[in-house]
A = this chain, B = another copy of it.
């Protein structure tokens, strides 16, 4: 009789090779009844994983670390919580767990990650909220710590060599602005975050591109208000942009858009049309019926965890990955989706009577231009 192997054991038991491997390496993933059956068969068979495989396995903690940021905002913070949920689910499906820690700043985060690696507590880590000049990728790379980043290496997209995934915010605001122009709006304004490289500038750029290209505007700043994030700030900015003659708005965040939405809804002269598009498609946007731009954060989480774990373990696993545009040597840019919707549930009759059904927005009603 030949020496038993994972494959022969799996065949004998009528389970997959992965199941036998999981019983040995990640038993929590296997249903208790199956686990017991496989364990008994392993004992009967005399199967022993090789010493090298065991040593390798012992070195693996099967854990990924991720820094948890404070809840900065109940509205936009939901995106990072969605990302975390998906990270944990994808990691679990590959036999890994996720350990969370907090850090006061990037330096403290690097220190915490070095400490976790030194203690063999983690195999790899995920970075989020990358910024221009971010010290983390270079430091972790120099320390030989495996990592992936949710967020691009701003300004170094083509030259950075590490694994990253990001959402193409600029493509999202381009699509939103084009949609409004296609509907006949001719003075599409933008509510943006304070000046500076990174996510906010990327989103603003998509709007500025289209306003220049399609509306022939030389200086889009005329229709731009920048502010710290927030609902009240969004209302103030929308009031200012209406004063400057804007007839529609694209916003860097759903917080801004929620505030703008209230201003538009409160102006009888706007006839109840709400040509406002937010960013992030948060629960708030869905609840009030606000159009928004959806970040495929779950796809980003799946891609990053899959690649990171597959490389750390040499196991390719499931290879059905989200489609995305490759950038540089190991970057992945995912396309956001424009989510058009009408007021949820039962909007005020005054609004409903003004709107017409429209194929573009499913069963919703929204975004009819006032003129044009």
Contact = CB atoms under 8 A, between A and B. Distances in A.
Interface of A: 27-28, 31-32, 63, 68, 70-71, 74-75, 77-78, 81-82, 84-85, 88-89, 92, 97-102, 107-108, 111-112, 115-116, 121, 231-232, 234-235, 258-259, 262-263, 265-266, 268, 282-284, 286-288, 343-350
13 contacts: A28-B108, A32-B107, A63-B99, A63-B121, A71-B82, A74-B78, A75-B287, A84-B100, A89-B102, A98-B99, A258-B344, A262-B345, A282-B283
Contacts of A81: 71, 77-78, 81
B345 A282 contact: no
A145 to B, nearest CB: 14
B99 A232 contact: no
Residue among A32, A74, A265 with most chain B CB within 10 A: A74
Contact of A283 (B27, B75, B98, B346): B75
A36 B266 CA distance: 59
Contacts of A115: 27-28
Nearest to A262: B345
B75 A88 contact: no
Given A74-B286, A98-B100, A99-B97, A112 B28 contact: yes
Contacts of A263: 345-346
Contacts of A287: 75, 231, 258, 284, 287-288
Contact of A345 (B85, B235, B345, B350): B235
A99 B112 CA distance: 15
Contact of A88 (B32, B85, B101, B259): B101
Given A107-B32, A282-B74, A283-B74, A346 B88 contact: no
Given A99-B63, A287-B284, A288-B287, A344 B78 contact: no
A350 B348 CA distance: 11
B89 A97 contact: no
Contacts of A85: 68, 70-71
Given A262-B346, A266-B348, 10 more contacts: A28-B112, A28-B116, A32-B108, A88-B102, A92-B101, A97-B101, A99-B99, A258-B345, A266-B347, A348-B348
Nearest to A288: B288
A265 B121 CA distance: 54
A57 to B, nearest CB: 11
